[in-house]
């Protein structure tokens, strides 16, 4: 529980009714229960049950996770080589994520460029 609080950057009362830990009245507690199941399933299905993904992996100390970067994968990194429709989508993505949301946006062709 200490670990969950720290991962989300919240106090126990964010999820629990003070002095009544077993009560399920608070919505974040219900969400957290689903998140625990999701995290468990992620590790089970992708990492042989090793705890590779934890609350912190997505939450980074925030109750509402922040999107840090967006990587669009395409056959080519050169905008001029893309089909018109793909090029438009890429430009829209760039404007939406980088312009409006301030998220780091890049087109990549290889997984090794994902950093």
Structure tokens at 76: 């080519």
Nearer Cβ to ligand HEC (36/79): 36
Q: Which DSSP state fits 14?
A: G
Closest separation between CB of residue 107 and ligand HEC, Å?
23
- 81 vs 104 by CB, closer to ligand HEC: 104
Closest to 3 measured CA to CA, from 44, 47, 26, 36: 36
Angle at 59 between CA 9 and CA 99, to 5 degrees: 115
Binding site for ligand HEC (CB under 6 A): 1-2, 4-5, 8, 10, 12, 14-16, 21-22, 28-29, 31-33, 35-36, 39, 53, 55, 57-59, 63-65
Nearer to ligand HEC, 15 or 82 (CB): 15
Please identify, using beta-carbon distances, which residue of 31 and 109 lies nearer to ligand HEC. Answer: 31
Count CB neighbours of 63 within 10 A. Answer: 14
For the bound state, the minimum distance from the C-beta of residue 11 to ligand HEC, rounded and expressed in Å, comes to 7
Please say whether the beta carbons of 74 and 109 come within 8 A.
yes
């Amino acid at each position: 529980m200490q670990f969950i609080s720290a991962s989300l950057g919240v106090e126990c009362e964010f999820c629990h009714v003070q002095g009544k830990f077993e009560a399920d009245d608070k919505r974040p507690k219900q969400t957290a229960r689903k998140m625990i199941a999701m995290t468990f399933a992620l590790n089970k299905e992708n990492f042989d049950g090793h705890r590779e993904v934890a609350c912190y992996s997505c939450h980074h100390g925030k109750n509402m996770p922040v999107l840090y970067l967006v990587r669009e994968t395409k056959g080519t990194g050169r905008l001029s080589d893309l089909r018109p429709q793909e090029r438009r989508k890429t430009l829209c993505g760039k404007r939406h994520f980088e312009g409006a949301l301030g998220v780091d946006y890049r087109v990549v062709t290889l997984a090794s460029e994902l950093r």
